[in-house]
Amino acid sequence: MAGGWWRWRRCVRRAGAWPAVCCLVAGLLTGCGDRPSVPGRYRAEIQRMLDRRAEAVRERDRDAFLATVDRRADRYRTGQRRVFDHLADVPVDSWSYRLTGTGGFRPAPGTGHRVAARVEVRYRLTGYDTAPVTAEEFLTLVRRDDRWYVAADGGRRAPRQLWEQGDVQVVRGRRALVLGVGQKPERLAEVARMADRAVPAVDRVWPAGWSRRVVVEVPASLDRMAELLGSPAEGYRGIAAVTTGQTGGGPATRADRVIVNPDAYPVLGERGRQIVLTHETVHVATRTATTRGTPLWLSEGFADWVAYRGTGRSPREVAPELTRAVAAGKPLQELPATEDFRFGGDATTLARAYEESWLACRMIADRWGEGKLVAFYRAVGDGPDTGRRTAVRDALRSVLGVTEEEFTASWRTYAHRVLG
C-alpha cells in the first residue's frame, strides 16, 4: 500500500551497545565508591568464581555453571538452569565476566557475607561478531564456606538478553544469523533470507570497513523487545526494527544487533520488510564511520537511501507526508533536528523527519554522485569531535564544495522539483 507502511519501519541508532541508563544505574549501585569497602582478597575470589562461570558457558558445562549458583536459592537456581539451557544452540565463540562494581557489602549470619555486584558480560558469536557484545548484569553474591556464589539478580535491572526470555531458536543464513524466541521456524527463515539479500545490497554502496555479516534477534513480543533494549515498550510501538551498537571507535567497537519488533514487522508487505532489514544493515555497516558528529538526518537518511536504492519507488511513494506538505504550499525549513526523530511523539513529524533526510541524501547522490554521498558520510564521521554542526559544515565544504546555507537552499528547491 503506497504511503501506508512507512510508519512501521522506523529504526533507532543507539550510542552504546545497550542504553546508557545502565551507567546511571551503576552509579546508584556503587555511589562514589564501595560503601562499605569490599576487601581486595574478596574481589579476587569473586572474579575467580566469575571466571569459572564463564568457562562453564564456553564449555557447555551445565554442572560447572550451576556450581557457581547458591544451592539455597532454589528458585533462582532453577531459573539459571533454564537460562543455561536456552543458550544450547547459540554459537558462542567467547564469553567472559568482569567485576566492575560492588556495594552493600555486609556480614550475613549463616551465609558469611553478602554483596551487591555489577558485572560486565562480554561475548562473541562464532562467525559473525568481529568484536564482542558488552552488557551489564546486577547480581547478589553470597560467601559460604570460603566460596562465593551467585544468589540472585540484583535490585537494579539491566537490559535482558534474548536467552533470558526463553529457548533460543537459531537459523543460519549465508550472511545472517537469526536468533528468535517463541517464533515459528518459517518466520525466522524468512528473516534470514531477507537479511542475506540486505548484506550484498549494502555492500555495493559501502564495501569497506565491515564484516558483511548481520545478527538479527526476534523476541516473542513488543514487551520482550523493550526488555532487550531496556526502555519502555510504548516507545517502540509501530517501530518495525531497531539497531543497537556503539558508534565510532574502529573495528574493535562493540558488535551490533538488529532487533525486530514481532508485532510491527509482520504487518509490512514483503517489500517493506526487505527495506526495513536493508536499512538496519546499513547501520551495521556504517557503525565505525558514525560518530557524535554524524547528525541523525544523515545516518537515517543514508540508510533509507540505500534501502530504497534500486526498488523503483518514486520520490512521491517514498515521501508521502512530504509530498502532501509540498502540495499544500508548506515550504521546507531546516534539515531535521535530533528531537524530530523522537519515538513516541507525533507520527507525522517522525515520518517527515525520515522523508526529508532521505531526500537530502538522494539529492547528494543525484547532483554530486553516489561516491560523493559515501565520501560525505565518511568525512562527517572523520570530522572534528566538537559537535554535529561543525563536522557537517566542514564536510560540505571539503567534499561537496558548498556552504551549509547553500546546501539547505538546494535541498528545498530539490524537494519542490521532485515532489511538486
Region of poorest pLDDT, from 131-145, 319-333, 375-389: 375-389
**Sheet harboring 241-244: ordered strands across?**
169-172, 176-180, 214-218, 257-260, 241-244
Name the grid cell of 282: 546499513
Does residue 16 carry a pLDDT above 50? Answer: no
Judgement on whether residues 240 and 366 belong to the same structural domain of the protein: no
Identity of residue 60: R
Phi, then psi, of 55 in degrees rounded to 5: -60, -35
Band of the pLDDT at 18, cuts 50, 70, 90? Answer: very low
What is the DSSP secondary structure assignment for residue 267, as one 8-state letter?
Answer: G
Give mean pLDDT, residues 283-300.
94
What is the predicted pLDDT for the residue at 21?
A: 27
**Which residues are CB-contacts of 354 (< 8 A; sequence separation ≥ 6)?**
6, 10, 300, 301, 304, 341
Calculate Rg over the CA atoms of the chain.
24
Does residue 2 carry a pLDDT above 50? Answer: no
Domain count of the fold of the chain: 3
Phi, then psi, of 347 in degrees rounded to 5: -65, -35
CATH of residue 239: 3.30.2010.30
Judgement on whether residues 244 and 318 belong to the same structural domain of the protein: no
What is the predicted pLDDT for the residue at 36?
A: 54
Does residue 344 carry a pLDDT above 70? Answer: no
Judgement on whether residues 204 and 265 belong to the same structural domain of the protein: yes
CATH of residue 116: 3.10.450.50
The SS3 of residue 213 is coil
What is the DSSP secondary structure assignment for residue 397, as one 8-state letter?
Answer: I
Judgement on whether residues 344 and 396 belong to the same structural domain of the protein: yes
Does residue 11 carry a pLDDT above 60? Answer: no
What is the predicted pLDDT for the residue at 415?
A: 96
**Where is pLDDT greater, at 318 or 155?**
318
- Chain centroid to CA 126: 19
Tell me whether residue 8 is exposed, middle or buried, using C-beta atoms within 10 angstroms of its C-beta: 0 to 12, 13 to 18, 19 or more. buried
Judgement on whether residues 409 and 349 belong to the same structural domain of the protein: yes
Residue ending a domain, among 273, 290, 307, is 290
Does residue 33 carry a pLDDT above 80? Answer: no
**Where is pLDDT greater, at 110 or 369?**
369
Band of the pLDDT at 111, cuts 50, 70, 90? Answer: low
Residue ending a domain, among 290, 319, 350, is 290
Judgement on whether residues 299 and 283 belong to the same structural domain of the protein: no
Does residue 283 carry a pLDDT above 70? Answer: yes
Q: Is the peptide bond before 251 cis (omega within 30 degrees of 0)?
A: no
Domain range holding 355? Answer: 291-420
Does residue 177 carry a pLDDT above 90? Answer: yes
Average pLDDT, the chain: 87
What is the predicted pLDDT for the residue at 246?
A: 63
Nearest 5 degrees, angle CA 13-CA 185-CA 137? 45
Judgement on whether residues 304 and 417 belong to the same structural domain of the protein: yes
Give me the DSSP letters along 219-258.
Answer: -SSHHHHHHHHTS-GGGGTT--EEEE---SS-TTSPPPEE
Model-level pTM? 0.87
The count of C-alpha atoms lying within 13 angstroms of the C-alpha of 398, restricted to the half-sphere facing its C-beta, is 14
Q: Give the chain's end-to-end CA distance (angstroms, integer).
A: 21
Give me the DSSP letters along 24-57.
Answer: HHHHHHHTTS-SSPPPHHHHHHHHHHHHHHHHHH
What is the predicted pLDDT for the residue at 158?
A: 79
Give mean pLDDT, residues 105-126.
86
The SS3 of residue 264 is coil
Nearest 5 degrees, angle CA 184-CA 189-CA 192? 135
Give mean pLDDT, residues 243-254.
64
Residue ending a domain, among 158, 193, 228, is 158
Judgement on whether residues 196 and 228 belong to the same structural domain of the protein: yes
Judgement on whether residues 356 and 309 belong to the same structural domain of the protein: yes
Judgement on whether residues 305 and 196 belong to the same structural domain of the protein: no
Q: Which long-range contacts (CB under 8 A, 24 or more apart) does 50-58 make?
A: 50/97, 50/98, 50/99, 50/119, 51/96, 51/97, 53/97, 53/150, 54/95, 54/96, 54/97, 57/84, 57/87, 57/92, 57/95, 58/92, 58/94, 58/95
Band of the pLDDT at 345, cuts 50, 70, 90? Answer: low
Residues 71-102 pLDDT 10s: 999 999 999 999 999 999 999 999 999 999 98
Band of the pLDDT at 110, cuts 50, 70, 90? Answer: low
Band of the pLDDT at 292, cuts 50, 70, 90? Answer: confident
Give mean pLDDT, residues 382-410.
89
Does residue 140 carry a pLDDT above 50? Answer: yes
Region of poorest pLDDT, from 12-21, 145-154, 219-228, 374-383: 12-21
Band of the pLDDT at 38, cuts 50, 70, 90? Answer: confident
Judgement on whether residues 279 and 332 belong to the same structural domain of the protein: no
Contact 260, 218 (CB under 8 A): yes
What is the predicted pLDDT for the residue at 369?
A: 98
Judgement on whether residues 13 and 60 belong to the same structural domain of the protein: no
